[in-house]
Amino acid sequence: MRHGKHGARSTKQAIAIGLSKARRAGVRLKPPRKGQTSRRTRRSAQRAYAAGRSRRRRKPSARRSRATLRALKREPRRTVSSKALARQAHQSAKRRKAA
């Protein structure tokens, strides 16, 4: 997202894509615990985490990759600007407890 090649529909979506990419790349970023997010999000995160942990690498589908990239290129860039990401970070921090 931060490479400036494409945008996203919302800042939350940009963060989600970034987290998924990190998990798939092998970063030890645990999926959210039960009760924090929806079951669907948790499942997706678990799958991405497992994909990053496994040894077996599958060549990504060129057709699907191209379709995803084209769809994201149509989205606005301002949603992934530093300003937008900072605003999103502040909002989510406000919702959390002080601890």
The DSSP-derived string for the chain is -TTSS---SSHHHHHHHHHHHHHHHT---PPPPBTTB-HHHHHHHHHHHHHHH-S---PPPHHHHHHHHHHHHTS-SGGGSHHHHHHHHHHHHHHS---
- What lies within 8 Å, CB to CB, of 47 at 6+ separation is none
CA–CA distance, 19 with 1 (Å, rounded to integer): 11
Residue 9, both tokens: 């529909």
Confidence of residue 58 (pLDDT cuts 50, 70, 90): confident
> Given a cut of 90, is residue 87 above it in pLDDT?
yes
Confidence of residue 99 (pLDDT cuts 50, 70, 90): confident
